[in-house]
Amino acid sequence: MDLPKVDVKKILYATDLSENARFAFAYAVSLADLYNASITFIHVLPEVPDIIDKSVIGYISEARWEEIKSQNVEEAREAIIGKRRNHLAIRDALHQFSEDVRESRVGEGFVTDDIIVVRGNPVEEILKYSEERSCDLIVMGTHGHGTLADAMMGSTARRVLRRSAKPVLVVRLPAE
> Is position 33 within any domain?
yes
- Mean pLDDT, all residues of the chain: 75
State how many domains the chain has: 1
- Stronger pLDDT, 26 or 62, i.e. the higher one: 26
Instruction: Kindly report, residue by residue over 32-77, the tens digit of the pLDDT.
Output: 989 999 988 888 877 766 655 555 656 667 777 677 767 766 666 6
* Residue 109 maps to a domain: yes
* 2 inside domain: no
| Buried b / exposed e along 51-66 (16+ C-beta atoms within 10 A) | eeeeeeeeeeeeeebe
Is 133 within a domain? yes
Tell me whether residue 19 is in a domain.
yes
Residue 5 lies in a domain: no
Least reliable range by pLDDT among 25-34, 61-70, 116-125, 161-170: 61-70
Helix axes 21-35, 88-104, angle to 10 degrees: 40
Q: Is residue 140 assigned to a domain? A: yes
Establish if 54 belongs to a structural domain.
Answer: yes
> Domain of 45?
10-173
CATH number at residue 86: 3.40.50.620
